[in-house]
Chain A
Amino acid sequence: MTRNEIWQALRSSLLEVFPEYTNLNIIEDLSLRELGANSVDRAEIIMLTLTHLNLNIPLVEFANVKNMIEIVDLLCQQIETF
């Protein structure tokens, strides 16, 4: 799985929760918080991404990620370790 595919999975999960962002140019160095996601929204977006990618990673692993780049990085690392 490529990094771009992982990013697209995250982006599509974000749009599932916030369909109003469909026409926005969403860039990876934004944080979910900056996009208006509260703690439940953030958990929801990450869980949807994990479901799309068929990965089982505890959500606590994402507790310290600062932006979407770091979310994608963490997912890439996890996939590499499998």
Chain B
Amino acid sequence: MSTNRDILNNKKFRVVVTGMGQLSSIGQGIPVLKRALLTGQSQFTQSSSFSMLSFPIIAALLQDFVFEKALNAFSVLPNNLLTMAKKAGHRAPLTIQTSLIAALEAWEQAKLYKRSFEKRRMGIVVAGHNTTLAYQYQRYTDDNLNHLSPIYALRFMDSDQIGTLSEVFGVKGEGLMVGGASASGNIAIIQAHRMIQQNLVDICMVVGVLADLSPFELQGFYNIGALGGRNFQKAPEKACRPFDRDREGFIWGQGTGCLILESSTMAKVHGIPFLGEIKGVAIALDANRGASPSKEGEAYVMQQALTHARMLPTDIQYLNTHGTSSLLGDETEIAAIQFVFNEHIHKVWLNSTKSLVGHCLWSAGVIETIATLIQIQSNFVHANLNLENPIDQDCRFVSSHSEIATIQSAMSNSFGFGGMNTSIVFTIGE
């Protein structure tokens, strides 16, 4: 879709979001998430599905998900696409089925089902790694490995996500997985943004895979003290409390999100409304393989994303924090935000979408980008659930209720174990 003149001028393309889809503990679909953001709805429960753990786990899990039923939500999409999706998702692991549902919703919103575009100029970036943990764990219960399903050989690989999505949607451009622990979602968005800016593709689907953990990972997170919920067994809805003095650690959430990114030129030509524009991006490492966050690293990516966007901290009205509800993580992020925003800190709304949907790990950055864009479009900032005693008095945390806010520009942070820092700046995209 880029013109010859654009290419000759080595023009960097503006990248806009034109489609979104999601499936999480809150429910299926963007309108459902928007309603939850507005009303402060969450779905944290004590799960009885992990009896082998040495502790009772609180999580925000998908509610009664049935793939075939979830497909019924799409009344506009053509039957042949839905038939392809049904076939691809039939007997597939939960992580594949949920990716397909989120992708179908985003595809529908971006009207890709009725647009004419070159399939070689569309890419897929899938956010996540270790995406088949629960699927593999469930296979261990088979009494006889002689009967291991032959398709396991394809399914256990993360890249089955790319294969399946590309087959269903007919995508033939670049496709890859990107991983960066809890920063995977943002890294995938940044990668897709670069692919469009570098004119490698015109359109790119970004899918944040649902983190389907097995008891091994949950026990591991618990053993390093990363999981919260110990003192909230009788009130699981209060366990996830980013930036509150009584927070204990992150609360796992199951969720998947999909974004359609494209060059603004492409979207304009096809008459597709912008849901937001990606103005600045940054990824930087801490040279640290551990789980400890770095104020310097986090501040650096926020500043780099602003510089990339050619914006100042005073241009930002809202920041969707990483805000996991972890002890050191939240404290470090606040210190980094204060360093970057300085006196402007009183004017930047802060919230954490994880207080509603939990920590969705690989897909967190994608779901939080969706939440950010919903708030930009609808002029509000969602509640910080359970923020009863904030760890900082200077920051402008949203209270326990959503508030009206006019947002022209917003930032979304995601950080991950292994010293992964990322930040993205969005604008309303006019």
Contact = CB atoms under 8 A, between A and B. Distances in A.
B308 interface: no
A40 B146 contact: no
B90 interface: yes
A26 B148 CA distance: 26
Would you call the interface of chain A mostly helix, strand, loop, or mixed?
helix
Would you call the interface of chain B mostly helix, strand, loop, or mixed?
loop
Contact of A40 (B90, B147, B150): B150
Contacts of B150: 40, 43-44, 47, 59
Nearest to A41: B151
A5 interface: no
Interface in A7-44: 16-17, 19-20, 40, 43-44
Contacts of A20: 87
A51 B149 CA distance: 10
A28 to B, nearest CB: 22
Contact of B144 (A16, A19, A56, A59): A56
B147 A19 contact: no
Contact of B147 (A16, A17, A47): A47
Contact of A44 (B87, B146, B151): B151
Contacts of A56: 144, 146-147
Given A16-B91, A59-B150, 4 more contacts: A40-B153, A47-B148, A47-B149, A56-B144
Interface of B: 87, 90-91, 144, 146-151, 153-154
16 contacts: A16-B91, A19-B90, A40-B151, A40-B153, A40-B154, A43-B150, A44-B149, A44-B150, A44-B151, A47-B148, A47-B150, A50-B146, A50-B147, A51-B147, A56-B146, A56-B147
